[in-house]
Amino acid sequence: MDWTPHLLNVVDVEATCWEGAPPAGAANEIIEIGLTVVDLARGERVAKHRLVVRPARSRVSPFCTELTGLTQREVDGGVSFAEACRWLAAEHAAGVRPWASWGDYDRHQFTRQCGATGVAYPFGARHTNAKAVFTEANGLRKRPGMAQALSRAGLPLEGRHHCGADDAWNIAALMLTPGTLALLR
């Protein structure tokens, strides 16, 4: 486990979702954690990871499968949320290494799910809202979605949008654009 000060974890989660309101008794739960490790000193993405997480209180809806590509069968083979949080801490120094996500959804989802399950929050206090930093670095008035930001930066969307691992990889690319990287350093 390397928590070198110049490394940043870029995290993107996918959660159970429905076209309308959740079914009775169901709640949004993380079903995929995408993580890209960025070396800020070298200005490059150095590792890409994907962890499928088994939901405990909800099921993957057809709408969710269409959006994320994840099926109930696939997430049934995933790790528990507690195991996923332990993985973040043990393999990616999540408690000490700074981390970023596109907006605040991912941070809030971890906070809600940890609170609901009694699992220890795996991250330290140093979170960067990558969407806000990108917006500031590019002098934008409105915060763009990730796909919009990639287009604005002249970067391709690599992989599938709404796949946690691919989205983390793409967000990391946005974090490494010159103006954004200058604000992070």
Long-range pairs, 67-72, Cβ under 8 A, ≥24: 67/17, 67/162, 68/14, 68/17, 68/31, 68/32, 68/162, 68/163, 69/160, 69/162, 69/163, 70/14, 70/31, 70/32
* Inter-residue contact 124 to 98 (CB < 8 Å): yes
pLDDT for 1 beyond 70: no
Residue 2 falls inside a structural domain: no
Domain limits at 55?
7-184
| Predicted local distance difference test score (pLDDT) of residue 183 | 86
Residue 156 falls inside a structural domain: yes
Number of domains observed in the structure of the chain: 1
Question: Could you report the per-residue pLDDT of 53-112, keeping only the tens digit for each?
Answer: 999 999 999 999 999 999 999 999 999 999 999 999 999 999 999 999 999 999 999 999
CATH number (domain holding residue 165): 3.30.420.10
pLDDT for 149 beyond 90: yes
Alpha-carbon gap, residue 172 to 180, rounded angstroms: 11
Closest CA to 107 of 99, 118, 97: 99
Closest CA to 165 of 1, 8, 13, 3: 13
